[in-house]
Amino acid sequence: MKRYLKICMAAMIISGLLLSGCGKKEKQDPDSTSQSGVMKVGMVSDLGGVMDQSFNESAWEGLLRAQNELGIKIGYLESNNNSDYGPNLESLTDAGNSLIWSIGFMMGDAALEAAKANPEQKYGIVDMAYGNNTPPNLISVLFKSEQASFLVGYIAGRMTKTNKVGFIGGIKGFIIDSFDYGFHAGVNYANADVKILRQYVESFSDAAKGKSIANQMYQQGADIVFHASGPVGDGVIEAAKEKSKWAIGVDKDQNSLAPDNVLTSAIKRVDNAIFNIVSDLQKGKFAGGATVVYGLKEGGVDIAPSSDKHVPKEILSEVAELKTKIIRKEIVIPYNAKTYEKFYIAKQ
Amino acid sequence: MSIKAKLTNWSNSAKRYLDNTFVFTLIAIFIGLITGAIILAFAGFNPFESYWAMAVGIFSKPKYIIYTIIKATPIIITGYSVAFAFRTGLFNIGAEGQFIVGGIVAALAGYFLHLPPVIHAMVAFALAVGAAAAWGAAAGYLKARFGVHEVISTIMLNWIALYLSNYLVMSPAVKRAESEATHKILATARIDLFGVWKVSEQGMAWRMENRFFHDLLKPDINIGIIVAILLGVMIFLILKKTTLGYELRAVGFNKDAAENGGINVNRSFMSSMAIAGGLAGAAGALQVLGVSLECVNLSNMEGYGFDGIAVALIGGNTPAGCFLSGLLFGALKYGGGKLQSMMGAPREIISIVIGTILFFTAMPKLIRYFTSRINQKREEK
């Protein structure tokens, strides 16, 4: 009996000593990191987590690139539920980061509150805009997702054999609207006879529901389904795989999820945007209070590089032509119901 | 005194020392932390630095302690819920579902009712507790009337609660536009302190001048922890000082003997589950009224109720024990995030660390079993 006790006591004393010794050493550390000149940048992911195969992962890739090329220190915190956003942002603020990213519009309120509460701390947010209310220490990044959606819509419109395609959105809102109407415009531009089925999952996490909606669309005769729904899309792509139909991915090149069934992806280069802003910050530039918009022109959106696997060359060259037209503003892509109507009338 | 006698004496006092549950639990937590350290070292992180980062992240500033308490409050109360049921011989796995029911009812009452401040919060809280108590009592009724084991029925009721809540959250009247959540509850129903004022313009201006309070005001300070303490006292009194508590505990010790002694066992199942359900519902209500201010569409269970099982286990099924173990658990969860931000350890490692600590915390009985076996053998010799 006493042997157990002795071992326990000894272990306690030893580790106590070690811990206290460790404490002394560490105490000088917090200041030395900020003095050493190495910039630290952190990000808080939304509920999807850092490895979500979507824009959180893309954001993290941007930071990884910054770590490799710019020699900065990076870190992340994942959120398990909505009430984690505030504490996570606060933790990173205290960790001495030069810039803290919030990923996704779900974090809009938390990021705004944090930026107001810590005027000395620089923040960035992806997919959210506050217009004139943006605090001077917050930079918001928007993507012209409608441009990439238009291009994949064009591909879908040209390639459909059943003259029926589908659109699955996450939660209706200004972000997903831009995907929705961009895609509609693209399909319509390619072939006005194609019918588009449209449904919202009302979730960004319920992959099972995404799958069942996709299955329904395929049963109704659609042969290509585009999803703009984050992790819900895993279910959509799974349905395409099982039914051997086409799915179009979003945010990242999702071809790797189902190499034979993901036709193309409307990619949002969150990584580029994050890398550029971090790189600017390292040079001392920070456009706080502004909303930066990334479109085709800025390399912020595009179709996935893997598109050449399944999309015929002639369609791809048409897409390339469209791209230059969009960049030259010869075609202005609609991003909501109102602009779509205008686009539609102009086309007639 | 001979040396041998001295040693036996020492050994006896050591045995008594080890028989103390509290000491046992402390040792178990310590072993758990060491195991966690080994795994951290295997994963390539300096365990001492990691634990230090956690400790600094939990204790070094008053606001961190507040964050920890906020994190701990709901699991302390779901811990009570599980512990209460345990004491009366029932295994309440349904705390998760009861928590969800309490949360959604509080969110609905907080938005749709229009009442003066304080009263609104109290009404929302009472409705939530009532609904969750009914949810818990349903499992008790199924056991009393049809003999359905409460483990089975509460697990099933968890899923019913989850999807019922999701259905309500996503219904057009309840859902807030451009979100997966309900409308935020009205200011009159909120139980957080200074919540509205601290983000207002005057509040902000004042905070900029009083940096210490500025920092303190960052967490969503709310009265949840006070309610948790009151509930703990209440459970203690119910169990120890009332006839109802006596009956419930009697059923917990031995159902047949209790029945023989004239206690209505079926009724006691229902009242026990109702109280346990009400407690878990209180946790959900406090979380909504004080922290999240809304209910979200859940793709999976959030785990507050399941954490409560662990909290009750560590806390030895007593209110005071649950309170302490809930704080420990809250600290580990909050400190775990610090591990991620300061050390770059992925979330999975933190889960392993927490899991190991739990595993070893559940060990005292096993350790005690082994020590008693060893003692037995010695005596045989």
B3-19 and A2-27 helices, crossing angle to 10°: 60
What residues of chain A lie within 8 A of the CB of B30, using their CB? 8, 11-12
Contact A22 B52 (CB under 8 A): yes
pLDDT-based confidence at residue A23 (cuts at 50, 70, 90): very low
**DSSP bridge partners of A265:** A249
Name the A residues in 300-339 with CB < 8 Å from any B CB.
Answer: none
How close B292 comes to chain A (CA, Å)? Answer: 6
- Mutation to test the B interface, candidates A41, A74, A82, most B Cβ within 10 Å: A82
Q: What's the angle, vertex CA B72, arms to CA B68 and CA B78, rounded to 5? A: 175
Residue in chain B closest to A16 (alpha carbons) equals B48
CB-closest option in B18, B49, B287 to A26: B49
Residue B137's pLDDT is 95
**Alpha-carbon span B265 to A16, nearest angstrom:** 50
Residue A203 lies in a domain: yes
Contact A4 B371 (CB under 8 A): yes
Q: Specify whether A166 is located in the same domain as A254.
A: yes
Q: Specify whether A107 is located in the same domain as A239.
A: no
A27-36, A181-190, B141-150, B179-188: which range is least confident on average? A27-36
**Alpha-carbon span B149 to B90, nearest angstrom:** 9
Contact B57 A4 (CB under 8 A): no
Q: Specify whether A71 is located in the same domain as A127.
A: yes
Number of domains present in the structure of chain A? 2
Q: Specify whether A54 is located in the same domain as A111.
A: yes
Q: pLDDT tens for residues A192-223?
A: 999 999 999 888 888 899 999 999 999 999 99
Q: Above 90 in pLDDT, residue B212?
A: no
Give me the percent of chain B exceeding a pLDDT of 90: 41
Q: Specify whether A56 is located in the same domain as A164.
A: no
Q: Specify whether A129 is located in the same domain as A255.
A: no
Residue A10 lies in a domain: no
- Mutation to test the A interface, candidates B29, B342, B369, B371, most A Cβ within 10 Å: B342
Residue B348's pLDDT is 65
Question: Residue A284: which domain range?
Answer: 38-143+271-294
Q: Above 70 in pLDDT, residue A14?
A: no
Q: Which of A250, A292, A251, A296 is nearest to A271 (CA)?
A: A251
How close A24 comes to chain B (CA, Å)? Answer: 11
How close A236 comes to chain B (CA, Å)? Answer: 16
Q: pLDDT tens for residues B233-246?
A: 999 999 999 999 99
Q: Above 80 in pLDDT, residue B19?
A: no
Q: Above 70 in pLDDT, residue A251?
A: yes
Is the minimum CB–CB distance between A27 and chain B shorter than 8 Å?
Answer: no
Whole-angstrom CA distances from A307 to A229, A262, A299, B236 are 20, 9, 17, 66
Residue A179's pLDDT is 94
**Alpha-carbon span B273 to B97, nearest angstrom:** 13
Q: Above 80 in pLDDT, residue B198?
A: no
Backbone torsion region of residue B72, taken as left when φ is above 0, otherwise alpha when ψ lies between -120 and 50, otherwise beta: alpha
Residue A301 lies in a domain: no
Q: pLDDT tens for residues B131-172?
A: 999 999 999 999 999 989 999 999 999 999 999 999 999 888
The CATH number that applies at residue A251 is 3.40.50.2300
The backbone torsions φ and ψ at residue B236, rounded to the nearest 5 degrees and listed phi first, read -55, -45
Residue A33 lies in a domain: no
Q: Which of A271, A275, A295, A293 is nearest to A283 (CA)?
A: A275
Residue A3 lies in a domain: no
How close A315 comes to chain B (CA, Å)? Answer: 35
Q: Specify whether A322 is located in the same domain as A215.
A: yes
- Mutation to test the A interface, candidates B10, B13, B48, most A Cβ within 10 Å: B48
Q: Specify whether A173 is located in the same domain as A287.
A: no
Mean pLDDT taken over chain B? 86
Residue A28 lies in a domain: no
Residue B349's pLDDT is 65
The backbone torsions φ and ψ at residue A87, rounded to the nearest 5 degrees and listed phi first, read -60, -35
Quote ipTM for the complex. Answer: 0.77
Contact A19 B180 (CB under 8 A): no
**DSSP bridge partners of A76:** A43
Q: Specify whether A263 is located in the same domain as A276.
A: no
Q: Specify whether A53 is located in the same domain as A134.
A: yes
Query: Hey, what are B312's tokens?
Result: 């009750």
Residue A69 lies in a domain: yes
Residue B10's pLDDT is 67
How close A232 comes to chain B (CA, Å)? Answer: 11
Q: Specify whether A196 is located in the same domain as A113.
A: no
Q: Specify whether A260 is located in the same domain as A112.
A: no
Q: pLDDT tens for residues A144-173?
A: 999 999 999 999 999 999 999 999 998 888
Residue A173 lies in a domain: yes
